[in-house]
Structure 1
Amino acid sequence: MSTLILFLSLAPSGPTADYSYTLTADGHTALRHASAPAALLPEPARPGGEVVAVVPAQALSWQRVQLPQGVPLGTGQQTPRLRSVLEGLLEDQLLDDPAQLHFALQPAARAGEPVWVAVCDRAWLREALQVLEAAGRRVSRVVPEFAPGPTASGQPELFALGTPEEAHLVLCGHGVEQAVAVLPLSSMALGLIGPATNSADTDDAAPPVRAEPAVAALAERTLGRPVVLHTASQRALDAARGDWDLAQFDLASTGRTRALRKAGSAASAFLYAPQWRAARWGAGLLAAAHLVGLNAWAWQERAALAAKQAGVRNALTQTFPKVQVVVDAPVQMERELAALRQAAGSVSPRDLEPLLAAAGAALPAGQLPNALEYSTGELRLRGVTLTAEEQTAVVTRLQAAGYSARLDDGSLLLRAEVAP
């Protein structure tokens, strides 16, 4: 999907503050990365695109709590009651007033189990989002730069970030709880997280180290082993693909907005993301196969219909050779049959005699009409009075003989329903 990923600044936000951003079309490859003020940030280029804000690791504190049973959780259950529960659980673990902090629960958190809670300054985060929204870059998701949990390599990983003057080290997947730790990039700080991080003799056991280009040399000197270059743009892409969304409680979007955003993101991902390329090809081939099949079926149906029409025309011209031009074969055949019948002196079910015979056989004994009206294929008998049971019986008998009948204002109307 088309996504604009930007890092929030640790300094107070403002219209002139620069944001380091990465623009991606598929969530895996950067199209562009640079820095710009909020008003000059690019927009996602495709429908369903989103703006993702990344909270730096230094701005977050990670706390581990166990929520009591019965506390409702989920995107629609982030109520003041749940926030009060979190404030009570974290009050002794935080240095600042909980009322001044923003809380965000880990995805798929469950009551009665230990969960991670991301904590940051509420006013700082709200101001940063408001500045971006005022510049026309409404943030869809807020994600942490690093989050607790298993790493891609399945073991602890180190990231050296910052500048040579303010370098720091981020340890991910640390300990049994797979926590995130942020430390200064110094030999003294490395002793706090174990000897494997800076021992050249234990390269096999040491966690992978990724470093920004600005601090790569410093990290190699401090750790005593080579590092892999890892840019801020790559870090932004990794963070945006995570499951976390720190926009919770008073910063959360409405349920309808979230649903529309997810639907748009899913559609955009299916259309553009590389991992869906095979599915897109499959869907395209399936649609093409259906289109070819429908056209083939329509061609066969047209051919069958044309064959039937040709058969009807041939039957007419072979039966009546004097018919040279076929316009409406059934009507012309009916007309020719009527002419033959008339020439032979025979009658058809539409003539007066068969209609009178059918009426006489169907009417109850003693029912005689006082007037007759005949037109081609239709006979009206006036002065006929029938009860409901008699009317049903008469209609049934006439239908069996191939005629329709109905009682209309003291008269019985018969109409021939069979071809002559």
Structure 2
Amino acid sequence: MSLLILALPPGPASPYAWATSADGQQLSAHGTASAELLPAAGRGVEVVAVLPAAQLSWHRVQLPRGVGPRSPRLRATLVGLLEDQLLDETEQLHFALGPDAGAGGQTWVAVCRRDGLLAHLRALDAAGRPVARIVPERSPEPGALQLDFIGEPERAQLLVAGGPDGGAQALPWSAGTLALLQARGGDALATAQVQAEPAVAALAEQVAGRPPTLQIPAQRLLQASATRWDLAQGELARTGAARASRQAGAAWRTFWHAPAWRAARWGLGLLLLVQIVGLNVAAWQTRGELAARRTQIDAALTQSFPQVKVVVDAPVQMARELASLRRDTGAASPRDLGPMLGTWAQHAGAEAVPAAFEYAPGELRVRGVQLSASALEQARRQLRPLGYRLDTDAQGAVLREGAAP
């Protein structure tokens, strides 16, 4: 499943920055377009919306026992826990829990304006690009401090994630931002992962004391799409089928392209290769056995009938030679009238008195005979080992030569 990743602008009428990826690891294309002119999002394409870091706030909460991600009391509980920390009315806000949230445990909560997010989702739905997943541009992650310098030198922004408290924050760059960053990160600033857009690379190098990793906005969108966070919760949640399809597609994409699964992919490839080689070896052995059996049959024909010089179809030629030998010696064949009449008389029973016989080579029709089910089954059991098959029709019974003994 490929990805169409969209950066949500401040308003639904603004153009969307977009990026595509076939494997979730490398960019395929990127650009900017209105909702109607975005790349197509048909079958096999997952649309991921990226919410800018400046539009999110992050809060660490302790969930009460019995209240988890699917609890009907979740929103009311979060409102009660966070109402003193929020500036907007809670009715206007959307809440989303972290991917590892559980009842009675601590978790991060993402909070954003609901009306703007809903407007984007409706606009994209109307344009035929329904969003399957909503992810934050940066999310709280444990581990090393991560700094992203973005924007233009006059209006630079700093995205901060990780570090000692593991939070995430979008800060406008100013004289006081560096002091705030040092107070937050401490010694972690020296080992921070620093990324920067080309326009603010010099600023990032000045702050970090080393050249940053250059990253264009589309690469940041691709990086954001790999997070386990999904803000499409509560009233914004996708259907169960869509969620299952997305998870299956993401799992397949991760297995097929992620470097961490390279060893497993090699193992699977080697296993398939061994299976293919094994099947080919077995087929080669089977072909050899069949060829040996054909050679034995051909040899039996030429040894039994030396006058046969060219073997085309050994069973047919052997049957033909046997029939010719019977004619020459006067021996009767099981297909002849005499043996078939004798077989009928011996196994049909005294009560089966025929009105007439019709004979064709290998087939004897007995008119006017009606056998009971038990008598028919008994006769069939007796005739089968002799190479005959007994059937019935509306006019009587039919004895045929050719049943496998």
Match in the other structure for 2:322 = 337
Q: Choose from 162, 173, 178 the match for 1:173.
A: 162
CA contact (8 A) 2:355 2:369 kept: no
Cα-to-partner distance string for 1:170-203 (whole Å, 9 max, x where unaligned)? 4423545x222444545655666664747xxxx5
Q: 1:245 to 1:385 in 2, by over 3 A?
A: closer
Instruction: Give the letter aligned to residue 48 of structure 1.
Output: G
Match in the other structure for 1:127 = 119
Secondary structure, aligned partner of 1:86 = helix
Q: Choose from 40, 44, 47 the match for 1:48.
A: 44
User: Which whole-Å CA distance do the structure 2 matches of 1:25 and 1:405 have between them?
Assistant: 66
Q: Choose from 73, 95, 114 the match for 2:106.
A: 114
Secondary structure, aligned partner of 1:93 = coil
Match in the other structure for 1:238 = 223
Pairing of 1:127-166 with structure 2 (within 5 A):
127-132=119-124, 137-150=129-142, 154-166=143-155
CA contact (8 A) 1:27 1:237 kept: yes
Secondary structure, aligned partner of 1:373 = strand
CA contact (8 A) 1:158 1:207 kept: no
User: Which whole-Å CA distance do the structure 2 matches of 1:391 and 1:24 have between them?
Assistant: 72
Pairing of 1:165-244 with structure 2 (within 5 A):
165-175=154-164, 178-183=166-171, 185=173, 188=176, 195=183, 197=185, 206=190, 208=192, 210=194, 212=196, 213-215=198-200, 218=203, 225-226=209-210, 228-233=212-217, 234-244=219-229
Instruction: Give the letter aligned to residue 12 of structure 1.
Output: G
Q: Determine whether 1:7 maps to 2:15.
A: no
CA contact (8 A) 2:59 2:108 kept: yes
**Aligned-pair CA distance for 1:119:** 0.7
Output the TM-score relative to the length of structure 2.
0.75
Q: Choose from 104, 124, 137 the match for 2:96.
A: 104
Q: Choose from 32, 54, 57 the match for 2:53.
A: 57
User: Which whole-Å CA distance do the structure 1 matches of 2:295 and 2:150 have between them?
Assistant: 83
**Aligned-pair CA distance for 1:214:** 4.6
Output the TM-score relative to the length of structure 1.
0.73
Pairing of 1:10-21 with structure 2 (within 5 A):
11-14=10-13, 17-21=14-18
**Please, what is the CA RMSD of the aligned residues?**
4.4
User: Which whole-Å CA distance do the structure 1 matches of 2:188 and 2:80 have between them?
Assistant: 43
User: Which whole-Å CA distance do the structure 1 matches of 2:329 and 2:300 have between them?
Assistant: 21
User: Which whole-Å CA distance do the structure 2 matches of 1:235 and 1:384 have between them?
Assistant: 90
Q: Choose from 240, 244, 249 the match for 1:259.
A: 244
Q: 1:268 to 1:48 in 2, by over 3 A?
A: farther
Instruction: Give the letter aligned to residue 147 of structure 1.
Output: S
Pairing of 1:69-108 with structure 2 (within 5 A):
69-71=65-67, 73=69, 82-108=74-100
CA contact (8 A) 1:104 1:118 kept: yes
**Aligned-pair CA distance for 1:114:** 2.1
User: Which whole-Å CA distance do the structure 2 matches of 1:192 and 1:86 have between them?
Assistant: 28
Unmatched 5+ residue regions in structure 2? none
User: Which whole-Å CA distance do the structure 1 matches of 2:283 and 2:319 have between them?
Assistant: 31
Unmatched 5+ residue regions in structure 1? none
User: Size of the alignment, in residue pairs?
Assistant: 402
Moved more, 110-119 or 208-217: 208-217
Q: 1:290 to 1:392 in 2, by over 3 A?
A: closer
